[in-house]
Amino acid sequence: MNKKYFGTDGIRGRVGEFPIIPEFIMHLGYSAGKILAASDWHLAKGERPTVLIGKDTRVSGYMFESALEAGFSAAGVDVLLSGPLPTSAIAYLTRALRLQAGIVISASHNLFEDNGVKFFSSGGTKLPDDIEIKIEAGLNNPIQTMPSAKLGKVQRLNDATGRYIEFCKSTFPYDLDLRGLRIVVDCAHGAAYHIAGHVMLELGADVITICAEPDGFNINHECGATHITTLQNSVKQHGADLGIALDGDGDRVLMVDKDGTIYDGDVLLYIIAKHRQQKNILKGGVVGTLMTNLAIEKAFGELGIPFMRARVGDRHVLELLIKNNWQLGGEGSGHIVCLDKHTTGDGIITALQILYALRDTALTLAKFTQDVVLYPQRLINVNVPKGFDFRNDVTITLSTQQAESDLGSDGRILLRASGTEPLIRVMVEGRMKQKVDHWAEQIANAVQLAANLQ
């Protein structure tokens, strides 16, 4: 059975446009609550299942927090509210507090006009497909509020921030610190605005925190991992050793060095894997995605590190990690999973793993990655009608085949539909930038033409 609302990262869209409206979100909470209430949790007599609801800093979060709260309460489920907190913090606290589920209100790296809802299981992982399908099926049933004596209660989890800061710090070796390092941390005016800088500061770094003044509207706006220029400028301005850029919900991270060079998720994944191999603590291999730069795959091959590609999306990376009993995987966007540290991607914890590698080896980002030169990669997003299928179009197929023949074994082409927007993403990479740009534009034009003719 196909899912109607859940994508690769929950349910997401433009606020005020269905399904990102209060009525639907309340019904979503109710449906999820009924499924939780009907599950066998071995609760004490009279004890209700409990969920944790967190959010990022966008203004619509207040509205959807109230809607979810009402839906769960109507279903007889107790609710804890954390306020603004990174996605990965909700996953951690759900597991640490032995709760039945965690819910995050966020549109991640999108601007404030969007929002969404994603769920975590009691183990701090994304909900299985079958549970999401059951929640969607429950949306067909009307809300039938429990009797007053059985309504869920709601309260604030006042120490959520402190708990999560200590958890992040615990993933960094106790015999090392960050003294002597000047670090700029760009919080994207998002969920980590009151957390990321404190973590680095408490580990001894000299920290300059920027973009940490959310007003409900400025999340991800010309800052954070989606707009790295702000961090680059700040690192140079403050003479910092490096910079860390998070996204709005704190599960992604990119870094820059003192010269402003960008280190994306592919390179960060390489650093962590190579360091773990050096320390003889790398378990198995590494999972990337269909978008992982070909140079990274070749670099892992030279190190003798097994590498596999999953479909795009942290859910698929996690599935392949579990299947292979590996621990490390991630995406070029900076969403990296270290399963020995956390059950999901975490921007702060990933940054700490990089800082561990640098401190342990006394190397800079540039020195540690001097053997890796990423291939030029061009990504073009093509707007298409909903449901547009590019796979059977002759013109697109021909253009793709021509590109593959020209690029040879040192190039890759990937066409995929976005899981959250009506877009076809055209990605081309290879050794020669001129060829990469040419074929990306050729294929994108073919996709646009086919979409216009539909």
- Active-site residue numbers? 108
Rounded (10°) CA dihedral 55, 58, 62, 66: -50
The token pair at 382 is: 């093509």
* Beta carbons of 209 and 185 less than 8 angstroms apart: yes
How many Cα atoms within 13 Å fall on the side-chain side of residue 440? 21
DSSP 216: S
Order of strands across the sheet that contains 423-430: 377-383, 423-430, 411-417
The structure tokens 């809607």 sit at: 67
Taking residue 116's Cβ as centre, other Cβ atoms within 10 Å add up to 24
The token pair at 334 is: 């900076």
Through-space distance between the first and last CA atoms of the chain, rounded to whole angstroms? 26
CA pseudo-torsion sign 195, 156, 104, 57: negative
> Which residue type does 271 have?
I
* Dist. CA 16–CA 22, nearest whole Å: 8
Q: Which of 14, 39, 11 is nearest to 27 (CA)?
A: 11
- By DSSP bridging, strand 78-84 and strand 154-156 are parallel
* Dist. CA 331–CA 353, nearest whole Å: 16
* Beta carbons of 419 and 9 less than 8 angstroms apart: yes
CA distances from 392 to 311, 364, 395, 415, 450 (A): 20, 48, 9, 12, 10
* Dist. CA 165–CA 198, nearest whole Å: 8
The secondary structure element, H or E, covering residue 284 is none
